[in-house]
Each structure stands twice: as C-alpha cells, then as structure tokens.
Homo-oligomer: A and B are copies of this chain.
C-alpha cells in the first residue's frame, strides 16, 4: 500500500505549513488541497484535524501569539535599564518578524481580516497580553523622559513601522538586525540616547 506514514504530530505540521502558505500566497489564495498536498495527505483528511479552513488560520495565529508573548516577556526581563529593555523589545519583535517564526507572525500581522468577527475578537484578546508588555516598557520610558511621545500612540506607530519591515527588510542584506533595531530605537528616543 502506498499509504502515507502516520506522523507523530500531523496537526502541528499542518499549522506550520499553513503559516508558510498563507504568508506566501495569502489565506484566500491558498486552497485546502494545496495545504494537504504540501504535507502529503488528501484534502479531505485535513478536516479530520480541523473543523474548517478558518480554524486552521485561527490555529496559526493563536500558536504564533503564544510564542510572541513568551519571547517578548523574556526580553522584558533581560535588563533593568529602561533604554536597554526598550532595545531588547524592539530587537525581539524584529526577530519574531524575520526569524523562524516569520511566517506565522506575518500572517498574524497582516491577515487577521480574513477571520470572522468572533475569531477576530479571540485573537485580539490574545494579543492584549503581548501589547501590555510593550505598553509597560514604553510607559517606563516615558516616565524616565527617554521618549517624549504618548506611549499608546508610540506603540501603534511602532507596530506599523516594525510590521512593515517584512515588505522591505532582508536580514541577509547590508543592514543586520542589530543595526535595524538600533535605528528604530534612535527614532523613538532621539540621537541623544544612543549609546554606541
């Protein structure tokens, strides 16, 4: 029989493959058949692991947000210096956007409108804890006069600035991630607070 070997965690494999396909082609342009073929099963078998196609997108986003929050939390504890802590967050978000998690993160950033309203609220609620870490650190930075713009607005502008890097920044190019992170922080804090 040319039966596909049973895998330990087909579901996880599906989620990761879906993240890549959704990022490359977009959610609507990716068919369930494409996804199934990419992991080596038939299209109908996908629905043994997920209730619907949208359920797959939701799974991509929720697992991604969990990773994002975990890593950002760790970064926020890396230093006691506010300026360094801010740099660590920026650097971490850029790593999330351009490292091994990039597919899922890009999908979470730019394809949440493909979710139904109910699932959108779920995802938004999950993102809250991630954003809270940011707002805490930006609040500290504002209190210590490191930044001079409103933390809420600053975070939202920063979200866009960082997220948009996936459309132009290439980690293997002239500018490495550290340099980019430094540039972003310089934008927030001004040249006076650059320590290099």
Contact = CB atoms under 8 A, between A and B. Distances in A.
The A interface, classified by DSSP as helix, strand, loop or mixed, is helix
Contacts of A188: 187
Contacts of A26: 28, 113-114
Interface in A125-152: 148-150
Interface residues of A, number: 34
Interface of A: 26, 28-29, 110, 113-114, 148-150, 153-154, 156-165, 167-169, 175, 180, 183-184, 186-188, 190-192
10 smallest CB-CB distances across A and B, nearest first, come from A160-B164, A28-B28, A190-B190, A157-B161, A148-B191, A160-B160, A161-B161, A160-B161, A156-B168, A153-B183
